[in-house]
């Protein structure tokens, strides 16, 4: 009997030790919210109970101040600013300069018409206003690039948020499991103490050997060590939870249920955005091969001031410019009221074609990356489905074992009441029930971990938290 109790207690302790690494690292698989009823949930829902959802949202709210989430939010804000800049309708550029002339001395005759003294210095001021009524060419490429980079930053933010929320939920469940493990360890200590007392009593009557007594004493020492280990695991789990959400009250993990989400894998989304970005680079490199046509008109207001309008085929952006220069134009140039200019420029270099070939190769590689990501995501999704199915089967078995252990305990209690059983047998049945309940909690933890893996797979936060809510 004593040996059987010790074997059962060692099995309980093994369960506690298996739970300890999970409690120490909430980022790994395990810990969080029981999801025993997840099999009946509808895909795409995250919290069927609105009250539980509100409680979960309050619990996860402190994550808004987490450093890694703030960094992701700043990246999103930077990408948004770049996108807004790409759509600015007007841009202004101004410049100015001063010149000092080093002249050779010459004899000038002021009486002679048209002969003027050479100036000692001069200056120039210019201002250009570029209008952007539409996006074309390079400006369209820049806007598309900024849009894609914003989507990439938003994906990174969602991934970071999902990871932190999953860690927080797992840590909340880890604290609960650590408390239950500590209670189980203490109950095992009581059983070991009772076994030692029974062994001492039998030894005093000559029914137990010194070896049995030493084994019972060792079992009690082990039980005390397991209690200390469980206390340490609880401290680590509480510290992990504290580092994520501070003093926020964990949700009722028994009432909370997480369903399996659906969507597009994060890896596929990133691969598609990379392919879009490569396509923008190809368009821009292709445009660099073609000639650029410029056209404009300049009106000379006087010999120092001029106003011009121009446009080029690269962007089709109208530009209005003003120029002031001194000294001004002299005869006969000052007789020109205005001028119309048209020109063509082209870059002739082997490097241009090589650059185009490089961007096309990058585009092909990015498209191959999309295909590879889709195939990899399909395999990973099948693996997630299989892992979740196994975890649910293990959960059903654990629930059956709890029911059997409860029945056994009731039977032993009835036998003890009739005088057919001993208190030690009843304690053994209670210990078996505690072990079964701990196994059930660990099975629920495993189902939760497998469910949260889907959220990480799709980068879907458990609770939406806009970037604007992240505290700087």
For 79-130, how does the pLDDT look when each residue is reduced to its tens digit (9 = 90+)? 999 999 999 888 888 888 888 777 776 555 555 555 566 777 778 899 999 9
In 3D, which of 253, 241, 247 has the Cα closest to residue 52? 253
pLDDT at 321 (0 to 100): 94
| CA angle centred on 306, ends 300 and 312, rounded to 5° | 105
pLDDT at 21 (0 to 100): 36
Q: Ranked by mean pLDDT, which of 49-63, 99-113, 275-289 comes out on top?
A: 275-289
In a domain? residue 222: yes
Burial label for 108, CB within 10 Å (0-12, 13-18, 19+), is: exposed
Evaluate whether 29 touches 453 at the Cβ level (below 8 Å). yes
- The long-range contacts involving 324-331, CB below 8 angstroms and separated by at least 24 positions, are 324/124, 324/125, 324/126, 325/122, 325/123, 325/124, 325/125, 326/119, 326/122, 326/123, 326/124, 327/119, 327/122, 328/302, 328/303, 328/304, 329/300, 329/303, 329/304, 330/116, 330/303, 331/114
> How many distinct structural domains can be found in the chain?
1
Which H or E element spans position 44?
none
Round to whole Å and give the CA distance between 317 and 142.
Answer: 14
In a domain? residue 369: no
- Supply the pTM of this predicted model: 0.77
In a domain? residue 334: no
In a domain? residue 300: no
Residues in the chain, overall count? 472
pLDDT at 35 (0 to 100): 37
Strand partners, 285: none
pLDDT at 9 (0 to 100): 44
pLDDT at 362 (0 to 100): 95
More confident residue, 143 or 188: 143
Strand partners, 309: 297, 320
In a domain? residue 112: no
Percent of the chain with pLDDT strictly greater than 70: 83
Q: Using the predicted structure, report yes or no on whether residue 317 has a pLDDT greater than 50.
A: yes
More confident residue, 114 or 16: 114
Phi, psi (5° rounding) for residue 285?
A: -70, -35
In a domain? residue 342: no
Cis, peptide link before residue 120, omega less than 30° from 0: no
In a domain? residue 319: no
In a domain? residue 155: yes
More confident residue, 358 or 55: 358
Q: How confident is the model at residue 47 (pLDDT cuts 50, 70, 90)?
A: very low
pLDDT at 24 (0 to 100): 37
Round to whole Å and give the CA distance between 179 and 289.
Answer: 69
More confident residue, 32 or 166: 166
Phi, psi (5° rounding) for residue 338?
A: -170, 170
Q: Using the predicted structure, report yes or no on whether residue 289 has a pLDDT greater than 70.
A: yes
Strand partners, 124: 97, 325
What letter does residue 118 receive in the DSSP assignment? P
Round to whole Å and give the CA distance between 90 and 318.
Answer: 10
Q: How confident is the model at residue 213 (pLDDT cuts 50, 70, 90)?
A: confident
Which H or E element spans position 300?
strand 292-300
**Beta-carbon count within 10 A of 152 CB:** 19
pLDDT at 438 (0 to 100): 84
pLDDT at 112 (0 to 100): 54
Query: 48-62, 221-235, 397-411: lowest mean pLDDT where?
Result: 48-62
Round to whole Å and give the CA distance between 414 and 409.
Answer: 9
* Domain residue limits at 26: 2-83+143-263+403-469
């Amino acid at each position: 009997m004593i040996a059987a109790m010790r074997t059962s207690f060692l099995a309980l302790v093994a369960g506690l030790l298996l739970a300890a690494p999970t409690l120490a690292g909430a980022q790994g698989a395990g810990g969080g919210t029981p999801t025993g009823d997840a099999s009946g949930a509808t895909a795409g829902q995250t919290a069927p109970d609105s009250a539980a959802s509100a409680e979960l949202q309050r619990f996860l709210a402190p994550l808004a101040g987490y450093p890694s989430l703030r960094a992701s939010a700043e990246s999103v804000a930077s990408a948004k600013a770049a996108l807004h800049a790409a759509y600015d309708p007007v841009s202004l550029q101004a410049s100015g300069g001063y010149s000092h002339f080093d002249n050779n001395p010459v004899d000038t005759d002021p009486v002679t018409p048209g002969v003027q003294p050479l100036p000692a210095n001069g200056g120039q001021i210019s201002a250009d206003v570029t209008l952007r009524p539409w996006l074309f060419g390079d400006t369209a490429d820049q806007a598309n690039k900024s849009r894609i980079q914003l989507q990439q930053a938003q994906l990174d933010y969602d991934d970071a948020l999902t990871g932190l929320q999953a860690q927080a939920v797992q840590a909340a469940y880890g604290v609960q499991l650590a408390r239950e493990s500590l209670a189980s360890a203490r109950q095992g200590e009581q059983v070991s103490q009772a076994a030692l007392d029974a062994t001492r009593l039998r030894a005093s009557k000559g029914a137990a050997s010194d070896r049995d007594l030493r084994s019972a004493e060792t079992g009690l020492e082990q039980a005390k060590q397991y209690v200390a280990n469980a206390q340490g695991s609880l401290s680590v789990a509480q510290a992990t939870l504290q580092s994520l959400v501070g003093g926020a009250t964990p949700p009722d993990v028994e009432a909370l249920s997480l369903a399996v989400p659906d969507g597009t894998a994060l890896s596929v989304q990133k691969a598609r955005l990379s392919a879009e970005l490569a396509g923008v680079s190809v368009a821009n490199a292709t445009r660099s091969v073609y000639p650029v046509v410029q056209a404009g008109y300049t009106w000379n207001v006087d010999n120092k001031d001029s106003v011009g309008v121009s446009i080029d085929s690269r962007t089709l952006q109208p530009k209005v410019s003003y120029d002031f220069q001194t000294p001004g134009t002299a005869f006969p140039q000052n007789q020109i009221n205005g001028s119309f200019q048209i020109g063509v420029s082209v870059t002739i270099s082997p490097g241009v074609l090589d650059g185009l070939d490089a961007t096309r190769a990058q585009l092909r590689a990015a498209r191959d990356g999309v295909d590879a990501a889709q195939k990899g995501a399909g395999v990973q999704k099948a693996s997630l489905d299989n892992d979740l199915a196994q975890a649910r089967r293990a959960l059903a078995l654990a629930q059956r074992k709890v029911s059997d252990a409860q029945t056994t305990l009731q039977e032993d209690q009835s036998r003890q009441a009739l005088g057919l059983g001993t208190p030690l047998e009843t304690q053994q049945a209670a210990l078996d029930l505690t072990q079964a309940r701990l196994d059930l909690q660990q099975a629920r933890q495993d189902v939760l971990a497998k469910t949260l893996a889907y959220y990480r797979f799709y980068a879907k936060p458990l609770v939406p938290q806009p970037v604007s809510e992240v505290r700087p």
